[in-house]
């Protein structure tokens, strides 16, 4: 085998230009596949990171009708739904991989939130339990956080995030100011923000609407005062902190199942449903991958053309070396030896093309990333698979020429010279 590899390199080096042109189809095909796969992998990772955020590993379990959250402001509280208590929370805490559990009530598109003439508009108001900030990795930026007495004394105080601060106060210090929530006065006591600052990568308008919907600010109040501007005994949603991102989907489904086994609305279409960010990411990834698969098929055609080129040049090589084959057979070389020599040369030729193609593909991916600002991720396994695949091309398209060389009769081969 080692001798065959040495002979293969010798043959390739003796016809450098012809060998390079033969490998070119393999190089282009492998380079295109590596570049496309790297961009797909990078884009998928970016989508997942954009949706899940900075890695706080939180998943929400909300009351929904089908796929849409129940709008309590429009339809009231469905019969049979009750608010969560300590028993329900403890059941959720017993789920494997769960670190913390907090409850919240929520209103989106809050037209009823004002500071003077400024409205929050598209934001959200949440009534939260005491451990909500720790569960969601929210930190205090300014002022103070909720105290025990804010909950027990039913104090009308709120925390706002920096987005709500800009929308409502437009540069004015909000601490100590009074805002209206459904015409009820609430005092701003603190400004909160995410523990890990994260901004999703936006490459187009679709990305903007995907990642920035309902990002006009959050206002948090103690859940004990929720009934003042909103409804009494309104059921709570749950946010769960999980030990790692890969367990988000599993924990979310188990939590929803537990709550639905305990709490039954009279309307069977209303159930607790996990906010499945990983599934959402998967759907977007599949949409982008379906487009890129067409490019991979086109790159595959390049490999097919390259393989035909390898077969053609190996047939030429067999013709050129007919006397050499005849001499080897006259000296006792077996058919399997001749077959192995030419097949090895074909595999070496395509393997070199595969390795060069991988390097070119990585470079091409880096260039595309820099020019179009697209994320990439080089997959080592894809590179190894590409080289192995190029070797298979050498075997498949080298069999016919190798077999032709092996079956030559020594007398006939020597006579041709």
Listing DSSP states for 128-149 in one string gives E-TTHHHHTTEEEEEE----HH
Q: What is the pLDDT of residues 46-99, one digit of tens each?
A: 665 655 554 568 888 988 887 777 877 776 787 878 888 899 999 999 999 999
Q: Which residues of 246-285 are buried (b: 16+ CB within 10 A; e: fewer)?
A: ebbbbbbbbbbebbeeebebeeeebbbbbbbbbeebbebb
Q: What does pTM read for this prediction?
A: 0.58
SS3 172: coil
Q: For residue 252, give Cα distances in angstroms to 58, 88, 207.
A: 9, 15, 25
For residues 141 and 329, what is the distance between their CA atoms, to the nearest angstrom? 85
List, in order, residues 6 or more apart from 322 with CB less than 8 Å away. Answer: 408, 413, 416, 417
Residue ranges in the chain modelled with pLDDT below 50: 54, 198, 200-202, 204-214
Q: What is the pLDDT of residues 194-206, one digit of tens each?
A: 876 545 444 544 4
User: Which residue matches tokens 């969601």?
Assistant: 136
Among 202, 232, 220, which Cα is nearest to 77's? 232
Q: What is the pLDDT of residues 103-136, one digit of tens each?
A: 999 988 677 889 988 888 778 899 999 999 999 8
For residues 417 and 404, what is the distance between their CA atoms, to the nearest angstrom? 17
Extract long-range pairs of 255-260: CB within 8 Å, 24+ residues apart: 255/59, 255/61, 255/92, 255/95, 255/98, 256/61, 258/91, 258/92, 258/95, 259/61, 259/84, 259/88, 259/92
Q: Within 10 Å of residue 183's Cβ, how many Cβ atoms?
A: 8
Whole-angstrom distance between the N-terminal and C-terminal Cα of the chain? 28
**pLDDT score of 83:** 85
CA within 13 Å, CB half, 70: 25
Average pLDDT of the chain to the nearest whole number: 79
């Amino acid at each position: 085998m080692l001798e065959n590899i040495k002979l293969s390199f010798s043959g390739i080096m003796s016809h450098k230009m012809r060998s390079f042109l033969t490998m070119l189809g393999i190089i282009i095909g492998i380079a295109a596949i590596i570049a496309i796969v790297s961009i797909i992998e990078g884009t998928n990772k970016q989508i997942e990171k954009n949706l899940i955020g900075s890695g706080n590993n939180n998943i929400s379990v909300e009351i929904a009708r089908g796929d849409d959250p129940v709008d309590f402001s429009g339809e009231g509280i469905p019969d049979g739904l009750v608010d969560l208590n300590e028993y329900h929370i403890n059941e959720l805490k017993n789920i494997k991989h769960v670190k913390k559990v907090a409850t919240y009530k929520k209103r989106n598109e809050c037209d009823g939130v004002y500071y003077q003439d400024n409205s929050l508009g598209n934001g959200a108001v949440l009534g939260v339990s005491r451990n909500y900030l720790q569960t969601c990795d929210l930190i205090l930026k300014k002022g103070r956080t909720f105290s025990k007495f804010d909950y027990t004394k039913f104090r009308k105080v709120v925390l706002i995030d920096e987005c709500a601060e800009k929308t409502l106060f437009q540069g004015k210090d909000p601490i100590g100011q009074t805002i209206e929530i459904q015409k009820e006065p609430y005092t701003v006591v603190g400004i909160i923000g995410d523990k890990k600052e994260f901004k999703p990568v936006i490459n187009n308008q679709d990305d903007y609407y995907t990642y920035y919907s309902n990002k006009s600010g959050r206002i948090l109040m103690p859940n004990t005062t929720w009934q003042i501007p909103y409804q009494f005994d309104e059921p709570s949603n749950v946010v769960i902190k999980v030990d790692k991102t890969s367990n988000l989907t599993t924990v979310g489904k188990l939590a929803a199942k537990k709550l639905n086994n305990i709490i039954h609305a009279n309307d069977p279409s209303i159930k607790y449903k996990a906010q499945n960010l990983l599934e959402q990411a998967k759907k977007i990834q599949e949409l982008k991958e379906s487009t890129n698969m067409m490019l991979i098929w086109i790159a595959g055609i390049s490999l097919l053309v390259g393989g035909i080129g390898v077969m053609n040049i190996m047939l030429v090589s067999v013709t050129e070396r007919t006397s050499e084959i005849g001499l080897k057979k006259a000296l006792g070389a077996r058919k399997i030896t001749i077959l192995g020599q030419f097949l090895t040369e074909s595999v070496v030729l395509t393997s070199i093309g595969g390795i060069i193609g991988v390097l070119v593909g990585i470079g091409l991916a880096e260039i595309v990333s820099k020019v179009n600002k697209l994320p990439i991720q080089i997959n080592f396994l894809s590179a190894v698979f590409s080289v192995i695949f190029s070797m298979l091309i050498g075997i498949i398209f080298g069999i016919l020429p190798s077999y032709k060389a092996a079956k030559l009769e020594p007398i006939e081969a020597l006579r041709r010279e």
